Structure 1
Amino acid sequence: MNTVVPAKRHYVDPTPFDPGLTEPVGAENESFYRASSWRLMWWKFRRHKVAVAAAFILLAFYLMVPFVEVLAPYNQTKRNGDFIYAPPQGIHLMHEGRLAAPFVYPYKYSFDLESFRRVYTMDTSQPQPIRFLCRGDAYEFWGLWTTNVHLFCPPENGTLFLLGTDRLGRDLFSRILYGARISLTIGIVGIAVSFTLGLFFGGLAGYLGGWVDHVIQRMIEILRSLPELPLWLALSAALPPNWSPILVFFGITIILGLLDWPGLARAVRSKLLSLREEDFVKAAELMGASKQRIIARHLIPNFMSHLIASATLSIPSMILGETALSFLGLGLRPPVTSWGVLLNEAQNLAAVQLHPWLLFPIVPVIIVVLAFNFMGDGLRDAADPYH
């Protein structure tokens, strides 16, 4: 008697993939097994809450860059001669026990003949409301047209120094906003230079091998053996003093990019050495694909996510490099405004002791560097297939 064996039913779990779990809910979950590497990377990255928060912080900083003239209440070069080294003005919402619109108390100053210092006191009897969506100092928006619209402005016939003023009476909060444009941009432009050189030399060393690999590796070892900070100082000091601020900006950017590419080139080389023996590379070679096409279209896209994570972790070092060079007076110079240039005024220990708000430009440097490191850690973990 023949026994009829019932057909094995194929069970598909209808539960959708939950990116919060380390494994898909169902063994046959198509949303997981058919997902691209970029989608899987995104699912793993958004589980890293600290990295996601850091990404939003960086997004806010970089969205601010094109609109600093609108966000800053003062022009970066405007001097308030009557308010030199004025301390920060606080924003208040309560006056004499009643809720009021955001306002500041005006400053009155007197000169102390004993200490030869200006003494600022607040006049709490005359609250001055802050103006919003108002007209203030004129500026050229993106170099296209002249306007004077600001998000918020000082009170009429009043002042608004949220972070105090410097030795020339310039608003420090406005100058920090203007400095963000240079300090944040130099990291992106510098990593573009480093990324291009790293992909080029690392791709040649990893795919071609042989004497090309030996030459590139020896060149990388020579660059890595040189002390980084003295080399930065020497190259920055070699820039002609009569260069315009734009040329100095690009010079510092190229210097930072040229000194950062060896690490990325080694990462590219190690990946290519492991991938060039794969079957898809052999198939491309048999089909007559050129070496340039194999590297650019088949090899590099397979680990681009790792490269992006590595590049993200390199940007903070470039921001800190520009800040250090400008702080030492060998980087960007006035009238260019960057966070390092602003910190250059805090070199005088006596000035910092008397006017500690001059150190405020270091706060955005710390926030941005930490945010890049946290986001880079999240991207690196998300790009790791074994994590």
Structure 2
Amino acid sequence: MRVDLFDFELPPERIALRPARPRDAARMLVVRGEGAFEDAGVRDLPRLLHAGDVLVFNDTRVIPAQLEGRRGEARVGATLHKRVDLRRWQAFVRNAKRLREGDEISFSGGVSAIAETRHADGSWTLAFAGEEPVELLLERAGTLPLPPYIASKRGTDAADREDYQTMFAAKDGAVAAPTAALHFTPRLMSALQAAGIAHETLTLHVGAGTFLPVKAEDTTEHRMHSEWGRIEPNAAERLNAVRAAGGRVIAVGTTSLRLLESAADDTGTIRAFSGDTDIFITPGCTLRAVDGLMTNFHLPKSTLMMLVSALMGRERMLAAYAHAIASRYRFYSYGDASLLLPG
């Protein structure tokens, strides 16, 4: 499909630069397969879902993966996006034309790395010096990599260290937050539990590729960056049992949905999973593992706009986004939510 079919005009003032406070005070647009859109709030989830449904969260934790340094006199910036092994990470590098294989980059805090390998997509493998765990080096030298549409308007500050982590964040490795889960609070989780709505967690370490624009003119020409994920066997069994009992599997965030679909077989059975996925979900794909999605509002012509269009239909989602813009919903990572229920 043509990428420009997923374009829309978003007024810049609709981009949220800070989250709602408290988190569960955000608005939520309910989009069903047909009928009128419903303007609701995140706190309405217990009445909008059914007893026996299950919400699936991504428990990845965002690391301070953005580094500033020098190669000689040249300034170099690096955003780590995927672990290779204990000391090596794949990274997108700013001012990469100044780098050669074997060059040493000196970052702040006494952290250094060798530019080991340049890849076809322009990214580099960086090998970090020393014996300290790279995660500790990043805590000393790195900053939180806010999305470009926020970082271009303001700097990262102390509030973001809490605001840009979900209450489920437990496993280090993400470069971007699974932002739909930012809306959840212990109070909301208690209300969901009281309503008979369960939850499960999986892990997908979101990479910086999630921010990259789609440069191809047709979706068939776009290639996704791979990300590492895991679904534990017991979690897969419980999710399959929910559907067998007539409940719905509702992914919280596109990262959860992508991993669930990566792990599902042709019958829709969710299997245990551990490894990389580069799944690209566009209209025409059959979604097998999920019955709904809670997600924020996405960028024009993005792979995530294509994903929600695969779930709900392109025209339905464009109409929903037009309603959201006219109704002054807040967009993107720190913005409001949507609940997509195709059935």
**Common topology (TM > 0.5):** no
- Higher RCO (Cα < 8 Å, 6 or more apart): 2
> Whose helix proportion is higher, 1 or 2?
1
TM class, shorter-length: under 0.3
Q: TM-score, normalised by structure 1?
A: 0.22
Bigger share in strand: 2
* Structure with greater Cα Rg: 1
TM-score with structure 2 setting the length: 0.24
